[in-house]
Amino acid sequence: MEHVHSEHVAADPDRLFAALAEPANRPRFVPQRTKVSQLDGDRVEVEARYEGRTQRGDAYLRADEASRRLEWGTESGYSGWLSVESDGDGSMLTLSLHTTHLEHADQDIAATLDAIRRLAEAGV
């Protein structure tokens, strides 16, 4: 199932994308993430908390600076992308998540976009 949401962020698109593209920053912007560590190439090790349980695994995380787009995914089929576009005096942030086993994905995406917006607008 594909879930896509967008939100305006009062932040420079290049600066916003640079902050989001840094793997170590993911826990700051994604409420469920507790740790992201860079491995080799585009591979990362991810730790997250869902429904009171800690989960760990490997994933890919690819950043395309020219298009300001991030893509990620796991072998289990969880994947997504995030894009940052110019939008007036700020940015339009779009987040897409593809999953087969997250029943609250729309709420998670809305919470993530809101967290990113609040942190970015606070100058983090």
0.85 surpassed by pTM: no
Would you say residue 75 has pLDDT above 90? Answer: no
Torsion of CA 55, 77, 99, 66, to 10 degrees: 100
Q: How confident is the prediction for the chain on average, in pLDDT?
A: 85
Task: Please give the pLDDT value at position 38.
Answer: 83
CB–CB of 93/11 below 8 Å? no
Q: How far apart are CA 117 and CA 26, in angstroms?
A: 13
Which two structure tokens, joined as six digits, stand for 71?
């893509």
pLDDT in tens, 27-39: 777 777 778 878 8
- pLDDT mean over 41-59: 84
State the helix-helix crossing angle for 13-21 and 105-121, rounded to 10 degrees.
Answer: 120
